[in-house]
Chains A and B, each alone.
Chain A
Amino acid sequence: MNDRWLLILGANSDIAVGTAHQFASNNWNLMLASRNLSNLNKMASDIKIKHNVRVKTFEFDAAAFDNHKTFYQKLTYKPNGVVLAFGYLGDQETAQNDFEEAKKSLDVNYNGAVSILEIVADDFTERGEGFIAGISSVAGERGRQENYIYGSAKAGFTAYLSGLRQRLFKKNIHVLTIKPGFVKTKMTFGRDLPNILTASPEQVGKAIYKGVIKQKNVIYVYPVWRLIMLVIRLIPEPIFKRLDL
């Protein structure tokens, strides 16, 4: 019987599903946490049947900061690794006009992540084991008019993970940052994404598993994204602000 447990926060996202299957097929037991329990329970049955591992489900809301401590204490098992997969894309234009929408993006993508990961980090430090994999975004590498509210929250999350990595490295705890690029998910359904740059949730799941095993720091699912984002970061501001990019 295998007793490694992976905790996935935001387990209903398509990327989380891809990741869950990847770890389960490598004999990891899973604790799945998300807001929609009925959907989560279906996912749990599917993983149990297909991979013969143990799966538990928990209710978790990234933006309900006050509950995070209790949530973590009530977990049935202490996790050996955590994948943070929750995120909220939202609508840029709405967020510009309505602070509630902007706040939702900041709360889910940044505040919620900091809130729960600090709790996880303390526990891992105390136990001297564990890894944390956070799904950030290429949108966080440079603010663009199209999605800068989401992007700035992800930029904050990327910086947060980088600092956390430095802090936990001394305790032998690995922190991985994933920047998936375009992914074919329900979040992006209906958008016209270029095929050669668009990964499937299964590919992201595999990349995360590999990144954890190989103790990578920052991964892009398709390596070409590293180059694309480098070019975008290098465009001088006076030119960048005039672009429609």
Chain B
Amino acid sequence: MKTSGWGRYPVIDSEVVRYNSDDSLFENIDGRNPVIPYGFGRSYGDSALSDTILKMRPAKRMLHFDPENGLLTCEAGVLLSEILETFLPRGWFLKVTPGTKYITIGGAIASDVHGKNHHQYGAFSEYVSEFSLMMPNGSIKACSRTKNKDLFYATCGGMGLTGIILKATISLQSVQSNTIVQQTIKTACLKEIFQAFEEYYNEPYSVAWIDCTATGSSLGRGLLNVGHFKEDHKFEYKAPGKLNMPLKLPGFLLNKWSIKLFNQLYYQKNLKSENRSETTVDSFFYPLDILKNWNRLYGEEGPLQYQFVLPKKTSFDGIKEVLNYLQKKNMYSSLGVLKLFGKENKNLLSFPMEGYTLALDFKVDDKIFQILDDLDKIISGLGGRIYLAKDARMSVEIFNTGYSKAKEFRSIRDQYGMNKIFNSLQSNRLNL
């Protein structure tokens, strides 16, 4: 079956094995190499692509909920959206959520995803207390920060390369509403947006959109969006319907001029320098989920996402350098999303580190790969790293420099024989 990540690049032919039960799982994958667990297919690049992909989505049952402390145990194929539908009406919300609710719990752990509250809460795995992992020999191990902790720290952020996550226990947070009070702060340049992040540090949720087409003294201008849950005890949660993006748009619609125009208008739409409003959980956290298949906006080749993080002390100059470089190359990202991360965790391959992260969207064309290779070098030189869940192309040298615990990860893979079975295009490329 033809398979690709959410970014539609690359496309490969894979055999698909479907999860049926814990008992039959090992039998179904035994003797196959390479095989990689696959959740809902929302990672952009090649991290869930392999000759055999194991679809874990049928493992989607919730097994236990403790309303005293908000602890939920569920199978790995449960979607974040299913957790919201079940628990938001009862006043519970995820502690950490990425910008889409259509990812599985297993995928969230494997990518150790982050959200708009990373500066205060950290990454997804901080709220995972335990999970069961099927090892390369079919045995199942319970992993936590005290039990099999080497497996715990390797698996969180480990891109599915350490085994198959079968079920996990996560903690939910109690919220007092399903309405978000949000504030938008308009900034005139990169310096101002950095200052705004610091100024609004106490807001639990924050993320900024930046206009990648602005030049000169406006370079890096944008809108910082911050928010928190209201406390009105109203929970009439209903997930919004989805609009389908029925066809792929022809790629030429998205060009330098349309991107400039869109960014101009988006920046100008906020006239005041500060804007307060109330909004729903869905439009605050998951604006793109409303448009099903939004990746088709980018034409046949799909959106190439590029996300990097820089240490705090090199962030400002580094991001400026990246934006300037892109402009020099006449390459415009249609979307630039900037976020301040808090402290990094102990996982071997987790992406976040304390500093600023920038996510960029590009249409695939013949120039883009060379340009991204150049950006890799800039980022690597400044002590930063590239996000594995969005990567389909970085080199092993860039990876090794950015992820300082990669060696330890490789030796765990070797020790347990994980590299004899659990391999993806990404792990082959990065020699993991």
Chain A residues proximal to chain B, CB less than 8 Å: 36, 39, 42-43, 45-46, 49-50, 186, 189
Q: Is B269 close to A, CB under 8 A?
A: no
Determine the distance from Cα of A50 to Cα of B62 in the docked complex, in whole angstroms.
Answer: 8
How many B residues are at the interface, by size bracket? 10 to 19
Chain A contacts for B75, CB-based, 8 A: 42
Per-residue A-contact encoding for B43-83, CB less than 8 Å = 1, 0 else: 00000000000000010111111000000000100000000
Determine the distance from Cα of A39 to Cα of B58 in the docked complex, in whole angstroms.
Answer: 12
Shortest distance in angstroms between B27's beta carbon and chain A's nearest beta carbon? 14
Could you name 12 residue pairs across A and B whose Cβ atoms are closer than 8 Å? A39-B21, A42-B75, A45-B61, A46-B61, A49-B62, A49-B64, A49-B65, A49-B86, A50-B86, A186-B20, A186-B58, A189-B18
Determine the distance from Cα of A186 to Cα of B21 in the docked complex, in whole angstroms.
Answer: 11
Instruction: Tell me if A46 and B62 are in contact (CB < 8 A).
Output: yes
Shortest distance in angstroms between B63's beta carbon and chain A's nearest beta carbon? 5
Chain A contacts for B58, CB-based, 8 A: 186
Instruction: Tell me if A45 and B64 are in contact (CB < 8 A).
Output: yes
Chain A contacts for B65, CB-based, 8 A: 49
Chain B contacts for A46, CB-based, 8 A: 60-63
Determine the distance from Cα of A186 to Cα of B58 in the docked complex, in whole angstroms.
Answer: 9
Chain B residues proximal to chain A, CB less than 8 Å: 18, 20-21, 58, 60-65, 75, 86
In the complex, the chain B residue whose C-beta lies closest to that of A189 is B18
Instruction: Tell me if B86 and A42 are in contact (CB < 8 A).
Output: no
Nearest 4 CB-CB pairings of A with B: A46-B61, A49-B62, A45-B63, A42-B61
Chain A contacts for B63, CB-based, 8 A: 42, 45-46
Partner of B62, one of A36, A45, A186: A45
Determine the distance from Cα of A186 to Cα of B57 in the docked complex, in whole angstroms.
Answer: 12
Shortest distance in angstroms between B423's beta carbon and chain A's nearest beta carbon? 23
Instruction: Tell me if A186 and B64 are in contact (CB < 8 A).
Output: no
Q: Apart from A49-B62, A186-B18, list 10 A-B contacts with CB within 8 A.
A: A36-B21, A39-B21, A42-B75, A45-B61, A45-B63, A46-B61, A46-B63, A49-B64, A49-B86, A189-B18
In the complex, the chain A residue whose C-beta lies closest to that of B64 is A45
Shortest distance in angstroms between B16's beta carbon and chain A's nearest beta carbon? 8
Determine the distance from Cα of A39 to Cα of B19 in the docked complex, in whole angstroms.
Answer: 13
Determine the distance from Cα of A49 to Cα of B83 in the docked complex, in whole angstroms.
Answer: 10
Most A CB atoms within 10 A — which of B58, B60, B61, B63?
B61
Determine the distance from Cα of A39 to Cα of B21 in the docked complex, in whole angstroms.
Answer: 8
Chain A contacts for B60, CB-based, 8 A: 46
Determine the distance from Cα of A186 to Cα of B24 in the docked complex, in whole angstroms.
Answer: 13
Determine the distance from Cα of A39 to Cα of B25 in the docked complex, in whole angstroms.
Answer: 13
In the complex, the chain B residue whose C-beta lies closest to that of A43 is B61
Most A CB atoms within 10 A — which of B18, B62, B64?
B62
Shortest distance in angstroms between B74's beta carbon and chain A's nearest beta carbon? 8
Determine the distance from Cα of A42 to Cα of B60 in the docked complex, in whole angstroms.
Answer: 10
Chain A contacts for B21, CB-based, 8 A: 36, 39
Chain A contacts for B64, CB-based, 8 A: 45, 49
Chain B contacts for A189, CB-based, 8 A: 18
Determine the distance from Cα of A45 to Cα of B64 in the docked complex, in whole angstroms.
Answer: 7
Chain A contacts for B62, CB-based, 8 A: 45-46, 49-50
Determine the distance from Cα of A46 to Cα of B85 in the docked complex, in whole angstroms.
Answer: 13
Determine the distance from Cα of A49 to Cα of B58 in the docked complex, in whole angstroms.
Answer: 18
Chain B contacts for A50, CB-based, 8 A: 62, 86
In the complex, the chain B residue whose C-beta lies closest to that of A39 is B21
Shortest distance in angstroms between B404's beta carbon and chain A's nearest beta carbon? 40
Determine the distance from Cα of A42 to Cα of B74 in the docked complex, in whole angstroms.
Answer: 10
In the complex, the chain A residue whose C-beta lies closest to that of B58 is A186
Chain B contacts for A186, CB-based, 8 A: 18, 20, 58
Shortest distance in angstroms between B242's beta carbon and chain A's nearest beta carbon? 15
Chain A contacts for B18, CB-based, 8 A: 186, 189
In the complex, the chain A residue whose C-beta lies closest to that of B85 is A50
Determine the distance from Cα of A49 to Cα of B74 in the docked complex, in whole angstroms.
Answer: 10
Determine the distance from Cα of A50 to Cα of B75 in the docked complex, in whole angstroms.
Answer: 14
Shortest distance in angstroms between A200's beta carbon and chain B's nearest beta carbon? 12
Chain B contacts for A39, CB-based, 8 A: 21
Determine the distance from Cα of A46 to Cα of B83 in the docked complex, in whole angstroms.
Answer: 11
Determine the distance from Cα of A50 to Cα of B65 in the docked complex, in whole angstroms.
Answer: 10
Determine the distance from Cα of A199 to Cα of B240 in the docked complex, in whole angstroms.
Answer: 23
In the complex, the chain A residue whose C-beta lies closest to that of B61 is A46
Determine the distance from Cα of A186 to Cα of B65 in the docked complex, in whole angstroms.
Answer: 27
